[in-house]
Structure 1
Amino acid sequence: MDQPSILGINRTQDGTISIFDGGKHVVSIHKERLTKRKHHWGRLGDMKLYKEHIAAMNRPFDLVVECWSADNEIERKEEYHEELRTVLDLKPNARIVEISHHYSHLYSAYPPSGFETCAVMIIDSVGSPVEHIKYDYPGKEGKTGLFEVASYYYCHAGEITCIGKQLHDRDPENPQGLGNFYYKLTECLFKGEGNEGKVMGLAAYGNLDALDLPELDVQDGEVFIPKAWQELFKSTEYNFKDEIKTFQEKADLAAKAQDVFEKALIKIALWLSEKTGTKNIAYAGGCALNCVANTKVLEQGYDLFIPPAPHDGGTSVGCAIYGAVECFKIKNEYDWRFDYLGPDVKLEEITELVKNYPELSIEKPEDLIETCANHIYWGKILCVFQSNSEFGPRALGNRSIVADTRYAVNKFWINTFIKGREWFRPIAPFVLEEDVSEYFDFKGRTPFMLFTAFLNKKYIDKFPTIEHVDHSARIQTVIKDDNEFIYSLIKNFKEKTGVGIIANTSFNGKNETMVETLTDALNCFSKNAIHHLVVPPYIISKKTEVINPLQLSSYKV
């Protein structure tokens, strides 16, 4: 019997779609990868855009599940539904189902977690208005004009119970909730969307004792922001681009705020574990991208599952899983432990496409892994493009820039000449999973770059490309089944150097989204200071050679 075809849609920030055949994943993609506009919100016209680029969108659908958030677009819901009916091939009895924002996060985290029993925490800056929440939760009756900022659940054998929510009226003069705290902090330091990672990177340079500011007030999972913090967030003096405050003063603020954020999150996890009687926790929402804080929770002894795309982008997966499990009563078997969910790419097309770039040459080496490992060993910067892009904000080896970790110049080169970003931004390492405890104070798997680890003492200052100022790194462990090319590349590099680590950052230029198509890859490679583009089994080079970073001897360690 054919499985029902399900379309999950995230209508809010970081717009995405996910297609499932029953409980089996087919494809997921971010809107920004197609429009090249970072964090692009879901809007009218999206279905035509997706249909033009994603072949699976041309199938007949049995069900569409969508989630909205706090913006006013939901008031145009009928226009969105008319678009679904006119642009897509909906079967005669197809349904369009809406679920609330935190519920979509929940279904992206609990069913794929593999836990039979667990607690779930969903924490972000804002979710759905209470009027759009259809399920029961404590204190639901009579509430209006409020929005969810945190939701907590107990899940057992597929049964879900909401055990608490924090709600907020969105008064900008009185922000509350852990997600709002970090949102306001980020706005204070870096204007614009998606800059929370900059704050995390900056925090490591700060002095925790420099600012006398209180901890956040945590009561039964609800987080309240003291007046001292609220007043500070109104200041314009900490804007990173301005020179009113020094770099150190800005770093001190980031450090203090990161510290109180971590302590509040640990208190929430403790409360939730005690209330539910389980140490299994699934965690999603924008706050779950704070990998430093995630690590502090992990260190408390919890079994913590965070999906690869815990932010709003991941909610389209949650919508599709909800459709399979709740609407079609399909037994959940989706295990989100593999994140190369993008559309198939015919890599062989690169041989024709490269002819449009007379400045480039292409070859098919007899031993591609050996060739690439040699290039990295010789100090070259490579970008890697493989089929099926990563879904979520992290480059995991299919849309990555890679380099040797042993030379500080590589971090300088990537941040300055390729990414065009702040000098203090750290670069992540790939590390062979079998070697992770050799290099880092960490055990187990972390394949999605959602945790940090400190370098073991004997390796401090040995890998400056990936070592942050506090000797930590946002690590990604790799086994052969995760990504065979990247695994083999690291293994070969280790045979040459004794080092089972290479640096990894997302394949994009300054202020760009990650590349999605082969043409994107060629365009980005050709205009940036990258030495080789790897599209297995091919390698593309520039006829005019780019300077080797190791020739900048003053940066060599």
Structure 2
Amino acid sequence: MTPPVVHGHASTWHDGGIALLTPEGEIVALASERVGERYKHHWNSGLAYHHLRGIDRYSRSFGGDDDHYIDNSVGLVPCDHHLYHAASTFFGSGYDEAAVLVLDGQGESGGHLATTSIWHGVGPDLRLVEELNPSSGPFAAESIGHFYTAVGALAGMRELYAEGKTMALAAYGRPSPLLDLLREHAGTLPDGTYRVAPGFVRAVLANTLGREFFGWGSATPEDQALWDGFVAARGAPPGNARHAVTRADMDTAYAGQVILEEIVLGLAERARRLTGSTRLCLAGGVALNCVVNGRVARQSAFDQVFVVPAPGDDGQAIGKVLLEVKRRRLPVDTTMRTAYYGPRYPTSMVDRALDAVRSRVRSARLDQDDLLAEVVDRLERGEVVGWYRGRSELGPRALGHRSILADPRQPEVRDHVNSVIKEREWFRPLAPVVVEERAHEFFELDRPSPLMTFAVPVRPAARAVIPAVTHVDGTARVQTVSAEQDEVCHRLLCRFADRTGVPVLLNTSFNRRDEPLVETPADAVAAFLAMPLDALVLEDHLVTKQHPPVR
């Protein structure tokens, strides 16, 4: 038995969450966005705290001396923000020694705002090696995280947390004078450090997101002149990427992505020199950029690269738990072989979720062989299936427990899933999931990728075979699955391969537009009924819709 330990994230106005070490030594983690009001990046960790505490199997772990939850609904709590990012990825990697690179917008650390830090992890210890571009003010305008946010705003992203969309759009861009102009304001330096001109970030955000989201006033005359120069170079102000995308938007996103990749590669080489390590761990919101991660894995001097599945602030709480496990020498394996850290829900919750909508659905409980056979039949016929099984994934990626699945062989499937099923932008790619032992046949991949944290090239011969999951630049954010990692998903892929010769499925997150991944069985049923999905696998149930509903 281990002492039950509870930690929450309370240091930023977004991505609250809770992590728990149970008396049995099991680690459970949950982002607040998944429960309660269910809107993305919810800051209140109390939503996740009370959700977990309300589940019988976890309730006895709360309220003791090691319950370190702090109610952040009354205000933020300063903490060693980058330390917890570093702990989440180093201790999650399973490495006994590694360099650690933390890259984000900003986070409180010792009375200042940290933006970029290099650490060295050895055994149970983490040592800060170097901190770059700290800020003493309320906003760290020289951070690469805020730089990339500004690039997205300049490319027509009219919302916060749209960096993934910027990354997707960048693949459609091309070299242009915008790249040369942007290089005047940001870039890597020969020693691996970097520069971001704070005026660029201030100028863009003051004219886009700053007023609505940060409460900023008008830009200074100097910053306004800088903004006017970028608008002139684009040929027009940024539009709205949700509704229409211009060539200038694409080229702006491309320019920002190129510079971001150069900066992170430079920082990785600096971390290599300063630590002497041959392994690298990445965390912080910038590490959600799987294209950057893929380049670091392929082109840096590191033999191994690990990215925690929740590199953003929703990984802070589990970082605290892992750090405490190591400091107290608790007998707990912290290695993240999968991302399935969500709570375990009882079968009764599945039954209640289905009973509540019995007039609107048909459902049948099937044994595993029959269930997989039925799903393969439907996928081969071109149907799109919601897939809900087991514990939810830590982080924003669907990894086969809260997924929408489809046949990747038909190019029209991508547009159908994007526009009809998920009602999102046409330029966003959809990910493949592949059996680990055959991944090399379809992707230029020399290692397992179970956490979907790297974008890798699709082999040229395979691009025509799996067009629905091949991005316009010939890459894919791939997830590999072994039988040890997820036996049921592995069997499904093998069954699909037996039928089609292709051990790959399209795998995207199971959520409605503007909502996070589904968490509970009731969430899955509600999303299924609200979306034009053809069927739902809910644990061992196959669910379809009644047309019309039974009166």
> Shared topology, TM-score over 0.5?
yes
The counterpart of 2:120, out of the listed 148, 154, 166, is 154
Kindly state the Cα deviation for residue 171 of structure 1 after the two structures are TM-superposed: 6.6
Q: Distance in 2 between matches of 1:242 and 1:393?
A: 21
Q: Distance in 1 between matches of 2:349 and 2:478?
A: 33
Matched, 1:105 2:85: yes
Between 483-492 and 356-365, the greater mean CA deviation after superposition: 356-365
Matched, 1:380 2:380: no
* Partner SS, residue 17 of structure 1: strand
**1:152-551 equivalence runs, <5 A:** 152-166=118-132, 167-170=134-137, 175-188=141-154, 189-211=156-178, 212-213=180-181, 214=183, 216-218=187-189, 222-226=193-197, 229-230=200-201, 231=203, 238-241=237-240, 247-299=246-298, 300-302=300-302, 303-326=304-327, 328-330=328-330, 333-347=333-347, 349-357=349-357, 358-365=359-366, 367-544=370-547
Shift of the 154–423 alpha-carbon distance from structure 1 to 2, 3 Å rule, reads same
Q: Distance in 1 between matches of 2:352 and 2:39?
A: 27
Kindly state the Cα deviation for residue 42 of structure 1 after the two structures are TM-superposed: 2.5
Shift of the 182–64 alpha-carbon distance from structure 1 to 2, 3 Å rule, reads farther
Residue pair 2:188, 2:262 contacting (<8 A) in 1 also: no
Shift of the 217–68 alpha-carbon distance from structure 1 to 2, 3 Å rule, reads farther
- For structure 2, the 5+ residue unaligned runs are 209-235
Give the structure 2 partner of residue 555 of structure 1.
none
Kindly state the Cα deviation for residue 187 of structure 1 after the two structures are TM-superposed: 3.3
Shift of the 292–321 alpha-carbon distance from structure 1 to 2, 3 Å rule, reads same
Q: Distance in 1 between matches of 2:332 and 2:192?
A: 28
Residue pair 1:216, 1:264 contacting (<8 A) in 2 also: yes
Residue pair 1:23, 1:332 contacting (<8 A) in 2 also: no
Kindly state the Cα deviation for residue 72 of structure 1 after the two structures are TM-superposed: 9.1
Between 369-378 and 329-338, the greater mean CA deviation after superposition: 329-338
Kindly state the Cα deviation for residue 543 of structure 1 after the two structures are TM-superposed: 2.7
Shift of the 438–24 alpha-carbon distance from structure 1 to 2, 3 Å rule, reads same
User: Please, what TM-score do these two structures have when normalized by structure 2?
Assistant: 0.85
Kindly state the Cα deviation for residue 484 of structure 1 after the two structures are TM-superposed: 1.5
* Partner SS, residue 159 of structure 2: coil
Letter of the 2:294 counterpart = T
Give the structure 1 partner of residue 219 of structure 2.
none
Give the length in aligned residue pairs: 506
Q: Distance in 2 between matches of 1:183 and 1:54?
A: 41
Kindly state the Cα deviation for residue 54 of structure 1 after the two structures are TM-superposed: 7.0
Shift of the 165–426 alpha-carbon distance from structure 1 to 2, 3 Å rule, reads same
Kindly state the Cα deviation for residue 242 of structure 1 after the two structures are TM-superposed: 7.2
Letter of the 2:320 counterpart = C
User: Please, what TM-score do these two structures have when normalized by structure 1?
Assistant: 0.84
- For structure 1, the 5+ residue unaligned runs are 78-97, 132-145, 547-557
Residue pair 1:65, 1:99 contacting (<8 A) in 2 also: no
* Partner SS, residue 508 of structure 1: coil
Kindly state the Cα deviation for residue 453 of structure 1 after the two structures are TM-superposed: 1.4
Between 31-40 and 180-189, the greater mean CA deviation after superposition: 180-189
% same residue: 27
Q: Distance in 2 between matches of 1:289 and 1:126?
A: 15
Kindly state the Cα deviation for residue 28 of structure 1 after the two structures are TM-superposed: 1.1
Matched, 1:30 2:10: no
Give the structure 2 partner of residue 117 of structure 1.
97
Kindly state the Cα deviation for residue 57 of structure 1 after the two structures are TM-superposed: 3.8
